[in-house]
Each structure stands twice: as structure tokens, then as C-alpha cells.
Chains A and B, each alone.
Chain A
Amino acid sequence: MNINEARDLLWLAGGFYGLALLFGFFKPFKTEFHPFRETPLISIICGFIFHTRALYLRGLDVHGCPLGNTLERVQFILWSLIITYLILRILWRLNLLGTFCAGISMCAGWLTLSIASADNHYWLEDNYSRLFSDPWIELHASIAIFSYGIFSLLAVVCFMYIIQRQTLLSRKSNQLGSFLPPINDLEHASYRLLSVGVFFLTLSMIVGGMHWAKQPEFVTSSKLVITIALWLGYILLFLLRMGNKLFGSRFAKSCIALFFIAILSLSVVNSKTTDSKEENTPPNLTPTQSE
């Protein structure tokens, strides 16, 4: 274990998230775990510190916000998920949400770490100078990925909504249901998270759009179509929810489905442009690192 090696730190962060998941799920059912009451939160904070340090070290390696390969993008989304949870937790004391977030962070984090091809060392190539040619593109990419972090938290909250709804509809005494937040609060929280996520995604679209208007040749049409489609998808979801046309379980299911589509489209929207002008650029120097 080398604390100056990004991958080692990411493994360690995943371990702490796993610990938070373990204690978080154990705590509500085994209440005699009194001395470990704060263990899940402490584990998440420790994991987050190592996670931040790992991304910082990777950022130094790639000379920019580390969003150059699948591992980096997934890790940045997970980092955004955890930081959003930690900010929300100040206002909204909810341990089980942290447990769900920690679980996702551990699973997705370790999965990407275990796939060697997800972490190609593009910055070691000879002609590599920096990840983003323009700081505005870097800003666009980082805001977009941050909005994905918020959407992942939205998906977690919607998942909790569906579980709570199912436990209520089952009309049985259910311990998990008692520990989950009220269904009305989850509905409000998901609406607010969607609003914040849409705001950040729109902001990233504006920043990216300004660059695209100046240099449209840097963006492939497939990337453009998928990015706009996703943005429109979230805008539509937001408008439908705002107009009370889509709510409850259908809204929750739509949010989860759209998030999965967004994650699956990551590889497409980050694909290298086919433009001949890019032949001499580093492999991942993609000007519109949108998401």
C-alpha cells in the first residue's frame, strides 16, 4: 500500500466505504452495537479523504481534472455522490442514505479498479501534454460529472422511495421501512436533487455549448446527440415533476432509468472525436469531455 499512489488510495477508500456499508446495515438491526454508532459516518469521511487525495494525485499526473478514462470518470462521479451526501447530511440527518451511498461507492469503485482496461495510462504517452486543451472545457466536464454525482444520489433516494413504498404497500411490519425516511420527505428530496442536478447539467451545457459554437469540429455528432438527449431527458423529467404530471413511484422509476441510461452513455459521450484534426492530440484529449 503506497499512500502516494492513486490506485492504492482508491482501493483503500473503497474499503472504508465497504466498512460504512457493513456497519450501516448492521446498526439498525443489531442495536447493541452501541460503541460503533458513528462508525458508518466516520468510515465515509475517512474514505472520502482518501478518495479526494487519490483524485488529487491523479490530477497532478494528468495535469487537469482527472476525467480521461472510465476509472477516473466513475471515481469522480462517486466522489461527487459522497460530497453531495456529506453536504446534505448537515441539513438532513440520514444515516441510511449514507449507507446506500457507501455501498454504491464501494461496488462501483472496486469494480472499475478491478478492470485493467478501464484505467489506461494515457498520460504516459509520448506526445501527451495535458488532458484538456482549454480550461473552459475542463470546467464543463467537471461540472457535468458533478451533476452526474447528484443524479446518482437522486437515484439512491428514488431507490429508497421505492423500497419504502413497497414496505408500506406490503402492509406488514418491516424493520427496514421503519429506518427509511418518510415517503413524503423522499419525494421532496428527490425533486430538490433533480432541480440541483438539472441546474449543474444546464450550466455545463452552456459552458460546453459556448466552446462548441466556436469549434464545432471537436465534437462528434453522436456525442452531441446523446448529450443533448440526456439533458432534454432530465429537463423533461424536471418539467413533468414541476407540473405535477409525473410523481410518486413513476417519477422514482423514471429517475433511476434515466440515470442508468446516462451511465451507459458515458462511454459514447467520452469517445474520442474522429476528426482528422485530432490525430496528433493525446488519446483522451477530447475537448468536449461532457460527462
Chain B
Amino acid sequence: MISPSTNTLHLLGSSHHTADLKAREKISLPPGHIDDFYSGLTKLPGLKECLLLNTCNRTEVYGASDSGNFSPQLLSQYFCDFRKLEPDFMKHHTYECSGEKVVQHLFEVTSGIDSQMVGETEILGQVKKAYDDACKRKVSGKILNRLFQKGFQAAKWARTNTGISKGQVNLGNVLCELARRIFGDMKKCRFLVIGAGDIAESAMEAFKSRGSQPITVTGRTFDWCPLSRRKPDELAEKFGGFALAYPEFQDSLHLFDVILTSTSSGKALIDYQQVQKCMKLRPSRPLFLIDSSVPRNIEENVSKLDNVFLYNMDDVSTIANENLKSRMDEVDRCRSALAKRAVQLWDQMRAYRSPPASINQSTAPLS
């Protein structure tokens, strides 16, 4: 039974909001220590249920107690002892809350509005994983089961009904979104990368994850000799693509739908005449050119050709920033909506004296 007079939910956590990278490294739990951490945590007097969420950006301990005997300070004390941290350090780099605020915080975490990259979806998978782990250890019971299931529902609601996940903010994903608006199905897209910069790698990763055709890579430092392998062919190998000899790429432009240049050659590798010639061989199929080099590798006037879409890094960054801004505009609206849901759930939990068995079953994970 959850008594209205007792705080039954507790949270101790640290994230990018309260701790810099160095501090987070100290607080974060190494995977090999999690078993020991849980075994000590479950022995804390008065704590009936617990769950550890340990990601690169946040370490949080959720607890539930069914009596007034549990003191939330015990969590902080235990954490300090376990990680051998100074209490002052912990006080500066962590946050604690109880009751309704825990519900609201979890809703904000699962929906991604508390993340460093607002609206990112990875956190939901990480919370689900942490919850599954807690269930397997049998440390999550009826209170945390209900809380986390509702947290997943709140995340889904927030992503569907607010704009916090709208638009891509990662450069690779922005390029993929643009390619989708041009070609639709990425499985039919043939992608050529000239050079091997960071942007190229990020874009290749994004395209590959969306199921594009094997990616072709070429570069000025490309070498056929296996003993003197350079970056472009390493990149091709890494993403399961093909390497193309550099002198041949200009005659093969018409075979590709998306061409990304990422070299430091300092001169135009693709000029107007080449693109014009290429478009004669594929007139009705659009060509998406991405110039991520500074100085630029693609002549700007190629965008005057019909069905040619040229983007440079400034354009892509502008889109990413606009998307991020529109997400930020949605955060307050999303937060207040989630707060209402949190109050509602907290009121239900407080009034919830003896839940029917069917509810417990339905909220327990299948694992």
C-alpha cells in the first residue's frame, strides 16, 4: 500500500546538467561493478525496489519504499561509499528528489527533453534496457514497474504529439533527410564519397543505417597496394562498401545519386561541365551533391542545372540549427504537458491501495 503521507519514490542522479564530463566519469559506474552496486543497494534499510540507469551522460538511481523508514540521504551516502567519492563532490554534482518530482523527471528523461541533444531517441532505449535489467534482477516491483511503463507511454506521447523530435540535428541525419526528400527510398540510392573526412564518415554511417546501397569511396590518397592502404579504402571496408580509383570517379559521376566531397584539395574537383555531362546521361533522375570541404570542391553554379541539388556545410549546419531551435521551442510546452501527466500518475499511485493482480501482470516486462 502507498500511503499519501509517505514519499515512496526517490531519485539520486547526476547528468550533464550538474556535472561536467570529468565529474561524470567519476560518478559513472563501470559495467563490471553493477552487480556489486545492486547487491549493496537492495540491502539499504526501507528500500523495497530500485533501478539503476547508467548511460554516458547520466547516472541515476531510482528507489521505492513503502514505509516512512527510508531516508533518501541513504542513497547518496551509499553511492559515495561505493564510488569512494567525497560527500561535497556528490552534493555539487548530483540531484535528489522524491515523490511527484521523480515521476516528472523520469517522464522528461524518457521523452528526451532532459537530454543533451534535445529530443534524441537513444535515451528511451537505454531506459528500457535499464528497466529490463532491474526486472531480471527482481529489484523492480509494482511501484517502479508502473512508473517506468507510464514513463515509456509518456515518451511515446511526447514524441507523437509535440515537436521535440521534429527535424534532424545531426549533420549525417540532416543529409539523409534531404536525400529522402529527393529520392524517397534510400535503398535505391547510390552514394559516392570523395575524400575521407569526419563529415564523410558521419554521413556514411547515417546512410548505411538507413539501408542505402553499398557506398563507394574514392580519394586522392587512395592506393591499390594493400601494403600502403590509406583512409578512403579503409573507410569503404569499414562500411562494407567499394573503393573506386581516384582517376576514374569523374567518368562515373552519372552512376551515383548522392555525391559527397570531403577533401582538403583546395580546388574544384567537380565542375559545371562535368555535372552537365553527367546529367545528360541521367536527365530525369535528380543528383544530390554535398560539398563538405573548405575551400569548396564543387563549383557553385552546378546548382543552376535542373534536377541538381547542391548543399554545402553552411547550408546543412543552418538546417540542423533551425531544427534544434524548433525543438527547443517545443520543450516548455512538452514539459508542462508531461508535468500534468506526472501529477495525474502520482495522484493515482497515492490513491492506489491494492492494485488488481492483472495490472501488475500487464505492467511487468515479458522478459
B118 within 8 Å of A (CB atoms): no
Bound CA–CA A175/B181 (angstroms) = 12
Would you call B161 and A31 a contact (CB within 8 A)? yes
Instruction: Assess the A169–B182 pair: CB atoms within 8 A.
Output: no
Scan residues 307-323 of chain B and give those whose CB is less than 8 A from a CB of chain A. 307, 309, 311, 315, 318-319, 322-323
B322-356 to A contact mask, C-beta < 8 Å, 1/0: 11001000000000000000000000000000000
Identify which of A46-54, A134-142, A241-249, A261-269 touches chain B. A241-249
Interface residues on A, range: 20 to 34
B283 touches A168 (CB 8 A): no
Whether a CB of chain B sits under 8 angstroms from the CB of A2 is no
Q: Is the CB of B303 within 8 A of A169?
A: yes
B319: chain A residues within 8 A (beta carbon):
171-173
Most buried by B among A32, A164, A173, A177: A173
**Contact in complex: A182, B182 (CB < 8 Å):** yes
**Any A CB within 8 A of the CB of B285:** yes
Contact indicator A247/B283 (Cβ below 8 Å): yes
| Residues 291-309 (chain B) with a chain A CB within 8 angstroms | 303, 306-307, 309
Counting CB contacts under 8 A, is B284 at the interface?
yes
Distance between Cα atoms of A183 and B284 in the complex (Å)? 11
Residue picked from A168, A178, A184, A241, most chain B C-beta under 10 Å = A184
A31 & B183 in contact (Cβ 8 Å cutoff): no
A119 to B24, CA, bound (A): 76
B167 within 8 A of A: yes
One of A31, A191, A247 near B306 (C-beta < 8 A):
A247
- List A210-250 residues whose CB lies under 8 Å from chain B: 241, 244, 247-250
Question: Are A31 and B307 in contact, with the CB atoms below 8 A?
Answer: no
- Compute how far the CA of A162 lies from the CA of B181 in the bound complex, rounded to whole angstroms: 13
A38 proximal to B (CB < 8 A):
no
Instruction: Please report the number of residue pairs spanning A and B whose Cβ atoms sit closer than 8 angstroms.
Output: 66
Residues of B within 8 A of A181 (CB): 184
Q: List residues of chain A with CB within 8 A of the CB of B160.
A: 31, 34
Q: Is the interface of A mostly helix, strand, loop or mixed?
A: helix
Give the CA-CA distance A185 to B188 in the complex, in Å: 12
Closest Cβ of chain A: how far from B119's Cβ, in Å? 13
A-chain residues with CB within 8 Å of residue B322 when the two chains form the complex? 172-173
**Interface contact A182-B181, CB-CB below 8 Å:** yes
B323–A173 touching, CB < 8 Å: yes
B142 at the interface (CB under 8 A from A): no
Q: A183 contacts B286, CB within 8 Å?
A: yes
Q: Please tell me if the beta carbons of A173 and B326 are within 8 angstroms of each other in the complex.
A: yes
Asked if A249 contacts B318 (CB within 8 A), the reply is: no
- From 4 to 54 in chain A, residues with beta carbon under 8 angstroms from any chain B beta carbon are 31-32, 34
Q: How far is the CA of A199 from the CA of B178 in the complex (A)?
A: 35
Assess whether B307 is in contact with A247, with CB atoms less than 8 Å apart. Answer: yes
Enumerate 8 A-B pairs (CB-CB under 8 Å) in ascending A order.
A32-B161, A32-B162, A164-B181, A168-B181, A183-B182, A183-B286, A244-B284, A247-B283
- Kindly state whether residue B177 has any CB partner on chain A within 8 Å: yes
- The reply to whether the CB of B137 lies closer than 8 angstroms to some CB of chain A is no
For the complex formed, measure the closest distance between the CB of A149 and the CB atoms of chain B, giving whole angstroms. 25
Chain A residues near B177 (CB, 8 Å)? 178
Question: Is there an interface contact between A185 and B184, defined as CB atoms closer than 8 Å?
Answer: yes
Within 8 A of A (CB), among B156-192: 160-163, 166-167, 177-178, 180-184
Tell me if A278 is interfacial: C-beta within 8 Å of chain B.
no
Given A173-B319, A178-B177, verify A168-B161 contact (CB < 8 Å). no
Residue of B nearest to A168 (CB): B309
Chain B residue contacts of A175, Cβ below 8 A: 166
With A31-B162, A34-B161, A172-B322 in contact, do A248 and B181 touch (Cβ < 8 Å)? no
**Cβ contact within 8 Å between B181 and A171:** no
Q: A31-B161, A173-B326, A248-B284 are in contact. Are A182 and B184 (CB under 8 A)?
A: yes
Q: A191 vs B284: C-alpha distance in the bound complex, in angstroms?
A: 11
Report if A187 contacts B (CB, 8 A).
Answer: yes
Name, among A169, A175, A177, A178, the residue most crowded by chain B CB atoms within 10 Å (CB to CB). A178
Contacting pair A172 B318 (CB below 8 A): yes
- CB nearest neighbor in B for A180: B181
Q: How far is the CB of A108 from chain B (nearest CB, A)?
A: 29
Residues on A with C-beta less than 8 A from B178 are 168
A184 to B163, Cβ gap below 8 A? no
**Chain B's nearest CB lies how many Å from the CB of A20?**
22
- Nearest to A173 among chain B residues (CB) is B322
C-alpha spacing A241/B284, complex, angstroms: 9
Q: Which residue of B lies closest to A177 (CB)?
A: B181
When distances are taken between beta carbons in the complex, the residues of chain A under 8 Å from B311 are 171
Complex CA–CA separation, A244 to B175 (angstroms):
28
11 further A-B pairs in the complex, CB-CB below 8 A; given A32-B161, A182-B181, A183-B181: A34-B161, A164-B181, A167-B181, A168-B182, A169-B303, A171-B315, A183-B286, A244-B284, A247-B284, A248-B286, A248-B307
Cβ contacts under 8 Å, A249 to chain B: 306
Please, which residue of chain B has its CB at the minimum distance from the CB of A244?
B283
Shortest distance between the CB of A238 and any CB in chain B (Å)? 14
Inter-chain CA distance A32–B336, complex, in Å, is 14
A205 to B183, CA, bound (A): 36
Kindly list chain B residues whose C-beta atoms are within 8 Å of the C-beta of A171: 311, 315, 318-319
Q: A247 CA to B82 CA in the complex, in Å?
A: 68
How near does chain A come to B202, taking the closest CB pair, in angstroms? 18
Q: Which chain B residues lie closer than 8 Å to A164 at the CB level?
A: 181
The answer, among A169, A182, A191, A248, for a CB contact under 8 Å with B180, is A182
Nearest Cβ on chain A to B203's Cβ, whole angstroms: 17
Chain B residues, CB < 8 A from A177: 181
Closest to B312 in A: A171
CB distance from A184 to the nearest CB of B (A): 5
In the complex, the chain B residue whose C-beta lies closest to that of A184 is B183
Contact B309 A169 (CB under 8 A): yes
Given contacts A164-B181, A173-B322, A173-B326, contact A248 B161 (CB under 8 A): no
CB contacts (< 8 Å) of A248 on chain B: these are 284, 286, 306-307
State the Cβ distance, B292 to closest chain A Cβ, in Å: 14
